Structure 1
Amino acid sequence: MSFKDLQSFIKELERKGELVRVKVEVDPELEITEITDRVSKSYGKALLFEKVKGSKYPVLINAMGTYERMAMALGVKSLNDMGDVINDLMDMSSYMGVVKAVKSIPKLTRMASVFPIKLPIKGACQEVINHDPDLNELPIIKCWPEDGGKFLTLPLVITKDPETGIQNMGMYRMQVYDKNTTGMHWHWHKDGREIYEQYRKLGGKMPISVALGCDPAITYAATAPLPKMIDEMMFAGFLRKMPVNMVKSITNDIYVPADAEFIIEGYVDVNEPLRVEGPFGDHTGYYSLEDDYPVFHVTCITHKKKPVYPTTIVGKPPMEDCYMGKATERIFLPLFKMINPEIIDINFPLEGVFHSCVIISIDKKYPGHANKVINSVWGMGQMMYTKMVIVVDKDVDPQDTEAVAYNLFNNMEPQRDIVITEGPLDALDHASNTPLYGSRVGIDATRKWDIELQAREVKKEEVTAERKEEAKKLLEDLKDKGGILDFNLPYKEDLTKCILVSIDKTEAWQAKKVINSIEEKLKEVKLIAVFDKEIDPNNLSIVAWKLFNNIDAKRDLIIKEGTVGVDATRKLASEGHTRPWPKDIEMSQEMKEYVDRRWQEYGID
């Protein structure tokens, strides 16, 4: 089922029991976030806040916050179905010959729906036109206590290439400065930033229109890592199986989705100095730091007569954006396979926050095949930002983390099977001491062929039951003596395969000293990972999140014969990390207690 607009999606969510209407008044500053974070972490329903303090518009949040709702948003039963559709589209043999051409008519019909339609009339998004705009009338939320202000978190920012006239749509957060200016958060590697740089050469004002509250296929399309030659509105039309109706903005020549809830029109003056934006509690689970960005000036706001304001929050996974990321994983899997036919499946773990980890299963055909795939992945568009690539055999399900761990600990020998290289990193990566650039790690966890084993022979010692008990005793002794605060041996089949410990870090290189002290006594251990004192080593989701995000491989991995140590602690300036280390996102205790007291009023349970 496809949706004409956001409100038709809301009706379907309600019909299926996937929506809760919160009828009591809530505050857009922190309260909506704390409520939604609890619901999101419990795999809960979409929320429609009908009474928001300071605004007459209702707020929709967590609309795509489960696998099922994300699939519903894209009109399929399962996200895997989207990959099948893309796969069929790319199967060019379907278009060969008369008989096959006839069979492909349904696919061709779907292709006919991709082209957006420019309407010569005003759209529903322009039922109300305000030439004296005031952003304060919108229920824009402040997400986290240390955010720099209120942020538009689901804006579809539409720009136009000044040379070709081709439009681009992307999702870039927008911090509200006052009633008619915001920040425009364009990272260096984003298409919007590239168009901005083109306008800077020309001088003057860069026209921009921002759509809020489109049907979910359009919203998703704005987040998809599409090649530059693919128009986001065409992609949205393909996903929703019907073309997107577009209308001209009131004050500029940019075309916008006719059925959006709100349109914010304005410009960026490319000659104007940049302005400080942030901090912002980001999808990494950390606050992204302040930085300078262009200023967006609002000249007009249009909207439906009874619009719904859409928003989302990001932070420690899982949250709504995680499922949008999973949709990307499924939709673009056929493209991965087209470039690397040996790839069977992929998994971007939620704890990897999109760009910190990918697990790939392959049909291994020759020695060193995993390394070929690792290096190929780092050469594929935005995959170049992936900090950790783990490769397993075709019979291992990348989504089954226990199976992946089993193969990692049994097939991987650190000195032979770990490759570290340097290259571009995502702008939000904080672990490298140099912004946008650092080291990445690839791990070959496939079963080794004889020739691979001969290339570097690894001595293995049998681990007896007595040795396992010695391992536990050693860790207990370190805990008693203050070397470590807590530990976990999560790999139950062999208690020496993996050791997770937390420490009270007070000095430089303390984590590496702990790693060395354990490795000296337990040389057969495969992985030793050290975390800060606030991390519970028994919480494997938080452990994975810290491990994926807190390391720069070249600096933080200690690779010895048969053992790899990982320093996943916060880095100090005395350890050579001179960049500011961002804070973990945490809600204020005061707001947590306030929501505790009001919880029954919300009617969510």
Structure 2
Amino acid sequence: HWHMHHDGAAHWRSWKARNERMPVAVALGGESVMPYAATCPLPPGISELLMAGFLNGRGIEMCRGVTVPLWVPSNAEIVIEGFVSHEAGPIGYDPRGGEPLGPGAVFEGPFGDHTGFYSLPDRYPVLEVTAITHRRDPIYPTTIVGLPPQEDYYLGKATERIMLPLLKTILPDIEDYDLPLFGAFHNAAFVKIDKHYPLHARRTMHGVWGAGQMSWTKMVAVVDRGVDVHDTYAVLRAVGEHCHPARDVELVRGPMDILDHATPFLGAGTKMGLDATEKRGQAEQHRSVEGLAAELCASGPIPAVTGGAARASESRFMRVPGVLDARIPDELGGWWLLVRIEKSAPGDGARVIRALGGLTEEAALPRWTVVVGPEADLSDIDGALFHWAANMSAERDRRLSVCGRRVAFDATPKMTGDEHEGHPVREWPPIIRMSAEVERRVAERWGELGL
């Protein structure tokens, strides 16, 4: 089971081209740095074992595999050896279409993943196991994934810090960056630059989208050096204040993370860049509008909605049919409206967005609106933003006002009928939830372990 954009799949394709099975060894455990090193986004051809040795302060001891022509870590708890079939067909298989599965493959899944959702089942090649070796009384190591933050979130934060110097060698414009909690790695990145010229932020966005595994990042927000890029609220305040929705948003079509269920097509869709830097000169401030849009824009920019005006707007928005909760968080400077709705039919998200847009004479509507489904909790801002990043496709779910001074995102779970302007909706996965029984058993173990 691997993603077609990653090195493992590339290695397999090379063996498939030779019409030969691919030898593999799955090593579980070993030196404590091994699980982390296995996740490092190193350049192709650079072994993760080199990174493990660097972090370990000495090389990783290796020995020959028993049944495969490979070296394996000597101190691993368990090693599974075998050969991966070269006969399997590609991913994107749907058994409902009548196509045969074909040889050397299984239809497997779903899997609980770091995205916080179950990745959907698909066709993957079979691993024929030829040997299992292990230590005496081996310990099976595992990493718990799910709604962030889980263990993998902290592994990702380590990568963020460790890889910053390497990233700066290929993108020297970057002063610092942050992978925010709500983005689950591939959905969002915040980047800080020392801006020197117009559209400098756009250059940086495109650089990020060409940098290894960061190229899958769905959303990139670029801020000035005076903004704390590790403060999510500060970054979103900068977006609210300095990013004009129709002028300062960059949309780019390209390959996307294979686990992004919101993309209209498997592994392909539209990335979104937010230029939240202060604008300089006509090159960045110019925007041509005509007709009604020009009339509306003539009234000036949209101000932040704070204090009593924010509370009054929340009260009015709560009376919109289908709205369960509405908040203009003070932490986000009055630039953002978060709305939780009851999603029971296709188009519910778009309907609420239209209703909110029709209330600008009655209530102050912030510049940025995010509409999420009933499973979100607006009292947890990071949690609500998680649903925004996970359930939004920029080309399908983004709605601009007539003038373009405001924008709203339909970040509700999608269903058939939520298609928009020809952009389809794929099968939607369930969010990862632990059952009450699992939660009870875990709580009992804390006491047993003295934690």
Structure 1 length-normalised TM? 0.65
Instruction: Give the distance between the partners of 2:435 and 2:83, measured in 1 at CA.
Output: 36
Question: What letter is aligned with 1:566?
Answer: F
Q: 2:417 aligns with which of 552, 557, 574?
A: 574
Question: Which runs of structure 2 are paired with 1:63-102 in the superposition (5 Å)?
Answer: none
- Provide the residue aligned with 2:90 in structure 1: none
Q: How has the CA–CA distance of structure 1 residues 501 and 216 changed in structure 2, closer, same or farther, with 3 Å as cutoff?
A: same
* SS of residue paired to 1:530: strand
Report if the CA contact (8 A) 1:277-1:290 is conserved: yes
How far, CA to CA, are the matches of 1:263 and 1:294 in structure 2? 19
Amino acid at match of 2:326: F
Q: CA 1:382 to 1:462, structure 2 compared with 1: closer, same or farther past 3 Å?
A: closer
| 1:406 equivalenced with 2:237 (yes/no) | yes
1:234 aligns with 2:75: no
Match of 2:115 in 1: 284
1:328 equivalent in structure 2: 159
Aligned residues: 418
Q: Is the 8 A contact 2:415 2:427 kept in 1?
A: no
Give the alignment partner of residue 460 of structure 1, picking from 296, 300, 303.
300
Identify the match of residue 486 of structure 1 among 320, 325, 328: 325
Cα shift readout 1:432-453 (whole Å, capped 9, x = no counterpart): 1210100110000011113345
Counterpart of 1:518 in structure 2 is: 356
Match of 1:473 among 301, 312, 318: 312
Deviates more, 1:584-593 or 1:562-571: 584-593
What is the match of residue 135 of structure 1? none
Query: In 1, distance between residues paired with 2:5 and 2:304?
Result: 52
Q: Does 1:504 align with 2:350?
A: no
Q: Does 217-226 or 476-485 show the bigger shift?
A: 476-485
Counterpart of 1:386, as a letter, is T
Shift of 1:200: 2.1
Structure 1 residue 400: deviation in Å?
Answer: 1.1
1:473 partner letter: A
Asked whether the 8 Å contact 2:256–2:268 carries over to 1, the reply is: yes
Q: Are the aligned partners of 1:418 and 1:443 in contact in 2 as well (CA < 8 Å)?
A: yes
2:265 to 434, 453, 458: 434
In our comparison, the structure showing a higher alpha carbon Rg is 1
Matches within 5 A, 1:357-396: 357-396=188-227
Which of 118, 127, 130 is equivalent to 1:296? 127
Residue of 211, 236, 252 corresponding to 2:27: 211
CA contact (8 A) 1:438 1:552 kept: yes
Residues 473 and 190 of structure 1: CA distance in aligned 2, closer, same or farther (over 3 Å): same
The match for 1:193 is 9
Check if 1:602 corresponds to 2:448.
yes
- Number of the residue aligned with 2:390: 549
Q: Secondary structure at the match of 2:133?
A: strand
Q: 1:461 to 1:252 in 2, by over 3 A?
A: closer
Within 1, Cα distance between the matches of 2:156 and 2:303?
41
CA contact (8 A) 2:304 2:333 kept: no
Q: Distance in 2 between matches of 1:567 and 1:539?
A: 18
CA distance in 2, matches of 1:343, 1:600: 42
After superposition, where does 1:2-401 map in structure 2 within 5 Å? 185-271=1-87, 272-401=103-232
Q: CA deviation at 1:305?
A: 2.4
Equivalent pairs: percent with the same residue? 39
Cα separation, 2, equivalents of 1:306 and 1:468? 62
* 1:544 partner amino acid: L
Q: 2:4 and 2:302 mapped to 1: Cα distance?
A: 51
1:102 aligned residue? none
Paired with 2:379 and 2:114, the residues of 1 have a C-alpha distance of 23
- Shift of residue 327, structure 1, vs aligned partner: 1.5
Matched, 1:565 2:411: no
Give me the whole-angstrom Cα distance separating, in 1, the residues matched to 2:357 and 2:388: 19
Which secondary structure does the structure 2 equivalent of 1:477 belong to?
A: helix
Relative to structure 1, is the Cα distance of residues 233 and 590 closer, same or farther in structure 2, using a 3 angstrom cutoff?
closer
Contact 2:179 2:190 in 1 (8 A): yes
- What's the offset of the Cα at 1:468? 6.1
In structure 2, list runs of 5 or more residues that go unmatched: 88-102, 289-296
**Structure 2 CA distance for aligned equivalents of residues 338 and 379 of structure 1:** 13
Is 1:587 matched with 2:434? yes
| Compared CA separation, residues 349 and 471, structure 1 to 2 (3 A) | closer
Alpha carbons of 1:481 and 1:206: their partners in 2 closer, same or farther (altered >3 Å)? closer
Task: Quote the offset at 1:301 in angstroms.
Answer: 1.6
Deviation of the 1:473 alpha carbon: 3.3
**Which stretch of structure 1 is more off in the superposition, 246-255 or 587-596?**
587-596
Q: Which residue of 2 aligns with 1:540?
A: 381
Q: How much does 1:552 deviate?
A: 0.5
Residues 405, 206 of structure 1: alpha-carbon distance in 2 compared, 3 angstrom cutoff: closer
Paired amino acid for 1:587: M
AA in 2 matched with 1:516: R
CA distance in 2, matches of 1:406, 1:583: 31
The residue matched to 1:525 in structure 2 has which SS? coil
* C-alpha distance in structure 2 between counterparts of 1:376 and 1:587, whole Å: 39
Secondary structure at the aligned position of 1:485 is classed as: strand
Deviation string 1:120-145 (CA, Å, 9 cap, x unpaired) is xxxxxxxxxxxxxxxxxxxxxxxxxx
1:594–1:314 distance in 2 versus 1, CA, 3 Å: closer
- Is 1:461–1:524's contact at 8 Å kept on the other side of the alignment? no
Task: Provide closer, same or farther for how the CA distance between residues 569 and 604 of structure 1 changes in structure 2, counting only shifts above 3 A.
Answer: farther
1:404 counterpart letter in structure 2: V
Mapping of residues 413-432 of structure 1, within 5 Å: 413-432=244-263
Q: 2:407 is matched by which residue type in structure 1?
A: V
Letter in 2 for 1:250: V
Please tell me the residue identity of whatever aligns with 1:540: I
Say if 1:487 and 1:302 are closer, same or farther in 2 by CA, change over 3 A: same
Q: Deviations for 1:340-386, whole angstroms, at most 9, x for unmatched residues?
A: 21211000112211111000000100011001111111112222211
Deviations 1:196-216 (A, max 9, x none): 222223334322211110213
